[in-house]
Amino acid sequence: MKPVAPYLLLPVIMLLAFPLMSGPSWIALTVAGLAMGMMLFLMASGLALVFGLMDVLNFAHGGFITLGAYIAVSVLAPLTGWVNAGSWELNLMARAAAMLAAAIVSGAAGLAFEAIVIRRVYGAHLQQVLITVGGLIVADQLIVAIWGTQPLPLQKPAVLRGSFQLGGAAIETYRMAAVVLGLLVYAGMHFILNRTRIGLVVRAGVENREMVEALGYRITRLFVGVFVAGSALAGLGGAMWAQYQETVTPAIGAEMMILVFIVVIIGGLGSIGGCFTGALLVGLTANYIGFLAPKLALGSNIALMVLILLWRPRGLFPVGGR
Amino acid sequence: MADLLLTLSGVHTHIGPYHILHGVDFAVPDGEVTMLLGRNGAGKTTTLRSIMGLWTPTAGQIRFAGQDIAAMATPEIARLGIAYVPETMGIFTQLTVRENLLLATGPAGFKPHKLAEVLALFPVIELKFNQQAGGLSGGQKQMLAIARAIIEDRRLLVIDEPTKGLAPGVIVQLIEGFQRLKAARTTILLVEQNFEMARALGDSVAVMEDGCIVHRGAMADLAADTALQEHLLGLSLGALQ
Amino acid sequence: MTRQHPVLRLLLLSLFLALAFAPFLFPGTKSVATASRICIFIVLAASYDIMLGYTGIVSFAHTMFFAFGAYGVAIPLSRGWIGWDAILVGTIVGAALAALVSAAIALLSLRVQKIFFSMITLAVASLAQILATQLRDITGGEDGLTFSLPAELQPSFRFLADPIFGVRADGRLIGYYLTALIALALFLLMQRLVASPFGTVLQAIRENEFRAEALGYRTIVYRTIASAISAAIAAVAGGLMALLLRYVGPSATLSFDVMTDILLMVVIGGMGSLTGPALGAALVVLAHYYLQPFMQMGFDSLADVRILPALIHPDRWLLWVGTLFVLIVHFFPAGIVGAFRKH
C-alpha cells in the first residue's frame, strides 16, 4: 500500500552528494543537515498534526518558535554559571530548564491562542489564514515589546561547544546532541501515535474526523491537546535552534517558518512520517547546497519543493481524502 | 409491542440554505429491526445523520432511551450507546483492521468474548487482522464497519445502506450476518435500497419521501402488498432484486 | 455597485473628489505625496482583492509582484537610462514577470489546495526578499536604488510660468496627475473585470467550487488567470511607487510590513468589493501619516509609567494594527463596505 519511492529520496540525496565532496566534508555536512532537519521536525510536526486533525493551518505557528527561543534566553541568563561550568550535570540542568521552560510557556501560549483566536474560525479557511496572520503580527509585536529588537546572545552549554572527530571529520558536539534529542522526540511521538489510544484516535481523526466523533471521542478536546503539544514542540525547536545559532532575533520564527512550510508541503500535510522525511530532506539539501554552491543555497529548498510538487502534487505522503 | 428505544417527532433539518427534513416522525422499538426505506434523495441519510448529531435538527425532538438528544454533540450521543455505520462506511484506510476495531472498544481494549463473537460472524476479518484497512475490498470494508459497530455492546445500531455497491454474493453474506444479529435481539435502524434485504430483516418499516415519513407499519404488511410497494417505492426497487 | 448605501456613496465620492483635486485642496509636498501614496495603494489593495475577495485565495507574494514593477522601473533609471521609454519598458517587463511567476505558482499549487498557494507564495516571497538584498549588483542590496526622473517629472520643471490656483505648475503636479490617472484607469479596468462574465465565474467558483467545476468551468484556469492579472496590476502600482519615491529598496517594497498594510486595507475596507479596499487604502495610509505621530505624543506624555509606554511606543504601531485586524476579521469579516450593506 505505502509508496516506496518517497522513502528512497533521503538516501538518494545523500548518495548524490557523496561524490561531489570529500569524505570528511560529507560526514560533517550530513550530520549538520540531520541536526537541522531534527530541529525543523520539532517545529513542523505540530503544524502538520494540527492541520491534519482539524484542517486548521496556523500561520502564527512561527510565533511559538520565537517565543521558545526568547524564553530560553531569559531562563539561561541567570544560569550563566551553570552554562559555562565544565560539568555535565550543571550544563544539562541549565539546558533542561531552558528547554522545559520554552516548551511549557509556548504550550501555554498555544492554549490561550487556541481559545482566543483559533476556536472561532473552524472550517473557514480564508478567515483562518487572515486571523492567524493577524495573531502572528500581534504576537511578534508583544515579543518585541518585551525583549526588544536587538539580537540577544545565547551560549551553548560548555560541554556541547567543541567538536569531536568522526571518520576524519570534525563534528560539532551540539549538532550531534541535536540529532539525538530530535530522534528521542521523534521516537516519543512515534510511540504515542502508534502505541497509545490517544495516538490511535489522532491518526484516525486526521483521516476522518466525523467518524471518530461518531465513535464517541470528543475530538475538539483532543485537538486542543494536540495544538498545545504542537506549540510546545515549536517552542522547544525554537529554543534548540536559538542555542545552535547562539543568538536570537525577533525574526527567528518567521525565518524558520518559511522552511517549516516547505517541510510540510514536501511531507504532505498531516503526516508525521512525511513531516520527518521532509524535515531531513530540507536540512540535508540546505547544508549540501550551502557547501557546494553557497549562492544557490537560498533557493535550493524552494527548488526542492517545486520539484517534489511537480512529481507528487500532494506532497510525499498525502493523508486522507483531502 | 416492545418499548420504543428511539423516537423522532417533528424533526426538521436544514443543510445550509436547504430544508431537507420536513417533520420526520417515526420510532424504533427496542429489540427489533426497523427499516427506513425511500427513494434516493428522500432524506434517509439526513435522518440518520440528524440522529447522530452530525447535522443538528432545527426543530423537533429526538428521544433516545427517554433522553432528548436532538441538541447533543455527536460524541455524547455515541456514548449513550449508539453505533453508526455511515453510507461511506467510515473505515480508516490508513489504520489496520485491528486498529479500526480497537477504536470502537472501551478503555480496556478488546473483550475476548466479543472479539471472538465478531470474528465468528465475519471470519474474513481475522484473516486480514493486521493489514491496512485501505487494502480491503468493498464488501470486507462493510463487514469491518459492521464489526466495529458491534465489537462493544450497543443499545442501537444505525446503519446506512450497507449493501450499496456490493456484489450479490457479498450481500448474501451480509444478510446472514444481520440475521444473526437479529436473532440476538439487537436493535437496528437500517436504511436500505435493497428490498429483498429489507424484507428478510425488517420487523417494522418507515418509508420516506421528500423529507417526510409517508408510511409506517409492519414490514410483513408492506412485503405482502405489492401495490403499496409500487406506490411508495416505485418499480426501481423491485427491479433491484 | 448598483445599490450602495448613501453614506458609503458619499464616502467614495469624497475620496474621489479629494484625490482629484488633492494638489489644490491640500497643497504642500507632504500631503501631495500622501495623496499619491493613496492612489497607488488603492490600485495595490484592489488588485489584491481580486485574489482575496473574488477568488478566496490568500497570497503572501503580492508585495513581490509590487516590487517586480518597482525594480523594473528603478533598474534602468538608476543605470542612467532616464526616459519615458525606460519607465514604460521597465513597467511592462515587471508586469510580465509578475504575471508569469504568479501563474506558475498558481498552476503548481492550486491543483492541490488553496492553502498550498498561501504557503508557497510565502516561501517564494521570502526568497525574493533575500534575493533583493543579496544580488547587490542588480538591486542595490539593502540600500536599494536611488535615481533621477525624466525632466518633466522633476520639481524644477515648469509647464506653465504662472501658478494654477496658487499651485506651482511643476513636474510634481504632472507626476501626481500621472499617478492619479493611471490609478483611476486601472481601478476602472478592475471594476470592469469583476463585473464581466470572467468575474462572475470567479465569484461562482469562490461560492461553490464543486458546482462551478461540475458546470464545466476549469476552476484552476480561472484562478490562475485571475492571479496573473492581479500580479501584473500590482507590478504597475510598483512602478508608480518607484516614480513617487525616486527610490526602491527591499524594505519599501518587499517587506512583510507592506504585505500587512495591504491585508489590512482590504480587510478593513471589505473584501470582494474593490471599493472597500479603496477606502481601506485611504484610511490606512492616512493613519500611517497622522496616527503614528499621535502615538508618539501619547508615548512622550506617559514616559514615566512602566509597561504602558512600551505598548504605545510609535514602533508598536503594528501591535495595535494587528489587534484591530484580528477584531475586524472576527467581528466584521465584510469590513466597512459590509457594515453599510447590512443596514
Is-contact A316 A6, C-beta < 8 A? yes
pLDDT beyond 60 at C261: yes
Q: What percent of chain C has pLDDT over 90?
A: 44
Specify the pLDDT at position C141. Answer: 86
pLDDT beyond 50 at B88: yes
Any domain includes C291: no
Domain of residue B39, CATH code: 3.40.50.300
Q: How confident is the model at residue A88 (pLDDT cuts 50, 70, 90)?
A: confident
Helix/strand/coil (H/E/C) assignment for every residue in C189-247: HHHHHHHCHHHHHHHHHHHCHHHHHHCCCCHHHHHHHHHHHHHHHHHHHHHHHHHHHCE
**Domain count of the fold of chain C:** 1
CA distance B19 to B16: 8
Specify the pLDDT at position B145. Answer: 95
Q: How far is A219 from chain B (nearest CA, A)?
A: 8
Specify the pLDDT at position C5. Answer: 83
pLDDT beyond 80 at A161: no
DSSP letter at A157 equals: P
Range among A82-91, A180-189, A262-271, B99-108 rated most confident: B99-108
Q: How confident is the model at residue B238 (pLDDT cuts 50, 70, 90)?
A: very low
Selecting from C118, C120, C318 the residue whose C-beta is nearest the C-beta of A129 gives C118
Q: How many of the other CB atoms lie within 10 Å of CB of A122?
A: 13
Is-contact A142 C319, C-beta < 8 A? yes
Q: Burial of C14 by CB count in 10 Å (0-12 exposed, 13-18 middle, 19+ buried)?
A: exposed
Q: What is the residue type of A146?
A: I
Q: At which residue does the C-alpha cell 475538539 appear?
A: A220
Range among B79-93, B158-172, B184-198 rated most confident: B79-93
Note down the domain range covering B68.
Answer: 1-81+156-161+192-241
Full DSSP string of A59-75: TTHHHHHHHHHHHHHHH
Q: How confident is the model at residue A143 (pLDDT cuts 50, 70, 90)?
A: very high
Instruction: Express each pLDDT in B119-156 by its tens digit.
Output: 998 999 999 999 999 999 999 999 999 999 999 999 99
Those residues of chain C whose CB sits closer than 8 Å to some CB in chain A are 52, 56, 58, 108-109, 111-116, 118-120, 122-124, 126-127, 130-131, 134, 256, 260, 263, 267, 310-311, 313, 315-316, 318-319, 321-323, 325-326, 329-330, 333
Any domain includes C10: no
Specify the pLDDT at position B76. Answer: 95
Specify the pLDDT at position B205. Answer: 94
Any domain includes C322: no
Note down the domain range covering C75.
Answer: 21-286
Interface pTM, i.e. ipTM: 0.90
Instruction: Express each pLDDT in C13-44 by its tens digit.
Output: 999 999 999 888 888 888 899 999 999 999 99
**Mean pLDDT over the full length of chain A:** 87
Any domain includes C299: no
Instruction: Express each pLDDT in A23-39 by its tens digit.
Output: 888 998 999 999 999 99
Selecting from A131, A257, A261 the residue whose C-beta is nearest the C-beta of C329 gives A131
DSSP letter at A132 equals: H
Q: How confident is the model at residue C306 (pLDDT cuts 50, 70, 90)?
A: low
Least confident of A118-127, B131-140, C25-34, C80-89: A118-127
Taking the C-alpha atoms of A79, A84, A88 and A94 in order, what is their torsion angle to the nearest 10 degrees?
A: 20
Residues of A with Cβ-Cβ distance to C130 under 8 angstroms: 298
pLDDT beyond 50 at B91: yes
Domain of residue C104, CATH code: 1.10.3470
For C134, which residue in chain A has the nearest alpha carbon? A295
Any domain includes B66: yes
Specify the pLDDT at position A9. Answer: 87
**How many residues are recorded in chain B?**
241
Specify the pLDDT at position A3. Answer: 65
Specify the pLDDT at position C307. Answer: 62
Average pLDDT of A202-207? 87
Cell of A81: 554559571
Specify the pLDDT at position B137. Answer: 92
Selecting from A197, A203, A217 the residue whose C-beta is nearest the C-beta of B94 gives A203
For chain C, strand residue ranges (E) read 145-146, 247-248
Instruction: Express each pLDDT in C143-179 by its tens digit.
Output: 899 998 888 888 888 888 888 888 888 888 999 999 9
Instruction: Express each pLDDT in B191-225 by its tens digit.
Output: 988 888 888 899 999 999 999 999 999 998 888 88
Is-contact A260 A40, C-beta < 8 A? yes
Residue B90 phi, psi dihedral angles, 5° rounding:
65, 30
Pick the residue with more confidence: C217 or A43?
A: A43
Q: At which residue does the C-alpha cell 484562478 appear?
A: C223
Selecting from A140, A257, A306 the residue whose C-beta is nearest the C-beta of C108 gives A306
Cell of B96: 489496520
Residues of A with Cβ-Cβ distance to C122 under 8 angstroms: 257-258, 261
Specify the pLDDT at position B235. Answer: 52
Any domain includes C58: yes
Cell of C6: 448613501
Average pLDDT of B101-116? 93
Least confident of A98-107, C216-225, C229-238, C317-326: C317-326
Point out which residues pair with B22 in neighbouring strands: B12
Q: Is B3 on the interface with A (CB under 8 A)?
A: no
Specify the pLDDT at position A169. Answer: 80
pLDDT beyond 50 at B236: no
Q: How confident is the model at residue A224 (pLDDT cuts 50, 70, 90)?
A: very high
Specify the pLDDT at position C1. Answer: 45
Specify the pLDDT at position B39. Answer: 86
Any domain includes C68: yes
Region for residue C208 given its phi and psi (left: phi exceeds 0; alpha: psi -120 to 50; beta: otherwise)? beta
The yes/no answer on whether domain A5-311 falls in CATH 1.10.3470 is yes
pLDDT beyond 60 at B240: no
Any domain includes C9: no
Any domain includes B60: yes
Specify the pLDDT at position B2. Answer: 64
Any domain includes C215: yes
Q: How confident is the model at residue A189 (pLDDT cuts 50, 70, 90)?
A: confident
Sign of CA dihedral C147, C153, C155, C156: positive
Q: How confident is the model at residue A2 (pLDDT cuts 50, 70, 90)?
A: low
